[in-house]
């Protein structure tokens, strides 16, 4: 129980970080209307949340550990709120970009520091449970951000929706201020050794690239999905966000638990990736071309189960890859950096595809992206992973 509450609050900071990804989908039409944004410009607004990670996530993992994981989490939460304030008060598109870029630094600090802190809060079984839970923070946080943003924007406008998705980060971080800073043993490698170690490991590179393509594509699918559902099926924003939120949370938790059970029975992680990624590819193609809402709901469940399997497997493989030779914070940082490079790239590219080829083009493109991720997993990840 002593470990449960701090782990819960750390997980909460991760959810708040990922909510910054999900909040933009429901307010897309409001932003485009007020700032006259193209789909590609909106894609850039959505993707800038991970710009800092795309630039420096790998060394940030080492820096955060050496400077103090507790301090990194606290500063990350504060920075998320500051970025949200800038974004919410924007009167020009440039301030939308600046606010998202600032928020991206807070997102990065939490993503690399919070899970590393978790590893100091209990025995191996407790830590394994916590890391399994952490594997769901991205999709569940995105779903919560989508849901909260939709509700607040319909009630109070998009500016309050942005603030409403950021303030909970401070609520989660306040109890953590009372905790002692985790020990620095195991995090005393130099910056150069910590970074170079993970960059030389073939399995680490393979997992990072597989997760990167998966994460960038998922970010794009979620950012455009509310608008797609409203355009194609003529439903309200509230209904679209509710469907996305419920299916994402339920499906990802189910997929993560299934993946964890199978990994615990010595099923190869690579095999799980080779099942989850094509499931997502086929599902997203159907979702973006589905003729009715019932089909969307059913296939969204399958899509999110696949998402839970893939995300949970990638995070679960990190300790196996790290072993005794690699810096775990640096490995987490590299995973984040690769992912965030693709999260910066894929949503704007997807926006261009939608502008030229509509939602059918998006369906084909998203499916191909997931299949590319599967190709990396199948060819590059070693058998023992």
How far apart, in whole angstroms, are the C-alpha atoms of residue 26 and residue 40?
A: 16
Taking Cα atoms as reference points, which of 90, 96, 131 lies closest to residue 114? 131
Q: Read off the pLDDT of residues 10-39 as tens digits, 9 standing for 90 and up.
A: 888 999 998 888 788 788 788 877 888 777
Residue 194: which pLDDT band, with cuts at 50, 70 and 90? low
Contact call for residues 331 and 324 (beta carbons, < 8 A): no
∠ CA 217-219-222, nearest 5°, is: 105
Between 64 and 221, the higher pLDDT residue:
221
Two tokens, residue 95: 């301030």
- Of residues 129 and 210, the one with the higher pLDDT is 210
User: Residue ranges of the domains in the chain?
Assistant: 1-187, 192-384
The four Cα atoms 29, 232, 344, 314 give a dihedral, to 10 degrees, of 130
State the DSSP code for 291: S
Confidence class of residue 80 from pLDDT cuts 50, 70 and 90?
A: very high
Sign, CA torsion 8/122/306/214: positive
Q: How far apart are the C-alpha atoms of 53 and 63, rounded to whole Å?
A: 13
Per the model's pLDDT, the better-predicted residue between 30 and 44 turns out to be 30
Q: Which of 157, 284, 299 is nearest to 228 (CA)?
A: 284
Residue 264: is it exposed, middle or buried by C-beta count within 10 angstroms (0-12/13-18/19+)?
Answer: exposed
What is the DSSP code string of 70-138? HHHHHHHHHHHHHHHHHHHT-SSHHHHHHHHHHHHHHHHHHHHHHHHHHTTSS-HHHHHHHHHHHTTHH
Residue 384's pLDDT band (boundaries 50, 70, 90)? very low
Percentage of the chain beyond pLDDT 90 is 14
Give 116-158 pLDDT, tens digit per residue.
787 777 666 666 666 667 777 877 888 788 888 888 888 888 8
The residue among 385 and 50 whose pLDDT is bigger is 50
Task: Compute the distance between CA of residue 237 and CA of residue 48 in angstroms, rounded to an integer.
Answer: 23
Most confident of 1-10, 41-50, 186-195, 356-365: 356-365
pLDDT band at 184 (very low <50, low <70, confident <90, very high): low
Predicted pLDDT at 198: 64
| Rounded CA Rg of the chain | 19
Q: Which two tokens stand for residue 190?
A: 């130099």
What is the structure's pLDDT at 47? 72
pLDDT at 192 over 60: no
- On whether the CB atoms of residues 239 and 26 are closer than 8 A, the answer is no
In tens, the pLDDT along 309-327 reads: 888 788 777 767 766 566 6
In this prediction, residue 217 has a pLDDT band, given cuts at 50, 70 and 90, of: very high
Instruction: Compute the distance between CA of residue 195 and CA of residue 204 in angstroms, rounded to an integer.
Output: 12
| Domain 1-187 identical in fold to domain 192-384 | yes
Summarised one tens digit per residue, pLDDT across range 281-313 is: 999 999 999 888 899 999 999 999 998 888 878
Helices (H) and strands (E) in the chain, counts: 16, 0
pLDDT for 282 equals: 94
Q: Which residue has the higher pLDDT, 46 or 305?
A: 305
Span 172-185, average pLDDT? 77
How many C-beta atoms lie closer than 10 Å to residue 94's C-beta?
Answer: 10
Mean pLDDT of the chain: 81
Say how many residues make up the chain: 385
Query: Under DSSP, is residue 286 helix (H, G, I), strand (E, B) or coil?
Result: helix
Measured between its terminal Cα atoms, the distance across the chain in Å is 32
DSSP category for residue 50: G
Q: Write down the architecture of domain 192-384 according to CATH.
A: Up-down Bundle (1.20)
Has residue 271 got a pLDDT over 90? Answer: no
Angstrom distances, CA of residue 5 to CA of 9, 12, 122: 6, 10, 12
> Which residues, 6+ apart, have CB-to-CB distance to 315 below 8 Å?
115, 131, 132, 134, 135
Of 189, 287, 303, 285, nearest in space to 229 by CA: 287
CATH superfamily of the domain spanning 1-187: MFS general substrate transporter like domains (1.20.1250.20)
pTM equals 0.75
């Amino acid at each position: 129980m002593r470990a449960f509450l701090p782990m819960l609050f750390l997980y909460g900071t991760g959810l708040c970080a990922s909510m910054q990804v999900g909040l933009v989908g429901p307010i897309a039409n409001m932003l485009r209307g007020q700032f006259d944004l193209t789909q590609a410009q909106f894609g850039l607004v959505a993707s800038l949340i991970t710009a800092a990670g795309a630039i420096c996530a790998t060394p940030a993992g080492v820096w955060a550990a050496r400077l103090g994981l507790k301090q990194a989490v606290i500063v990350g939460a504060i920075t998320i709120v500051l970025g949200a304030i800038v974004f919410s008060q924007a009167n020009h598109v440039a301030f939308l970009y600046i606010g998202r870029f600032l928020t991206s630094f807070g997102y990065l600090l939490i993503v690399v520091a919070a899970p590393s802190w978790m590893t100091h809060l209990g025995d191996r079984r407790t830590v394994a449970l916590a890391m399994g839970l952490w594997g769901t923070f991205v999709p569940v946080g995105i779903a919560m951000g989508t849901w909260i943003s939709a509700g607040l924007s319909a009630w109070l406008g998009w500016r309050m929706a942005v603030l409403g998705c950021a303030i909970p980060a401070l609520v989660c971080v306040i109890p953590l201020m009372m905790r002692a800073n985790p020990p620095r043993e195991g995090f005393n490698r130099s910056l150069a050794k910590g970074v170079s170690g993970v960059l030389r490991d073939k399995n680490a590179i393979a997992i990072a690239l597989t997760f990167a393509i998966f994460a960038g594509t998922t970010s794009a699918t979620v950012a455009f999905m509310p608008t797609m559902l409203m355009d194609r099926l003529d439903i309200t924003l509230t209904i679209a966000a509710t469907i996305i939120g419920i299916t994402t949370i339920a499906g990802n938790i189910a997929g993560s638990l299934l993946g964890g059970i199978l990994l615990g029975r010595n099923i190869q992680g690579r095999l799980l990736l080779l099942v989850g990624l094509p499931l997502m590819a086929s599902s997203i193609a159907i979702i973006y071309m589905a003729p009715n809402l019932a089909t969307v709901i059913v296939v969204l469940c399958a899509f999110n189960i696949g998402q839970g399997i893939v995300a949970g497997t990638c995070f679960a493989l990190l300790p196996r890859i790290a072993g005794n030779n690699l810096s775990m914070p640096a490995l987490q940082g590299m995973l984040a950096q690769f992912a965030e490079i693709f999260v910066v790239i894929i949503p704007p590219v997807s926006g261009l595809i939608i502008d030229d080829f509509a939602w059918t083009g998006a369906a084909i493109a998203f499916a191909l992206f997931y299949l590319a991720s599967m190709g990396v997993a199948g060819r590059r990840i070693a058998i023992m992973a």
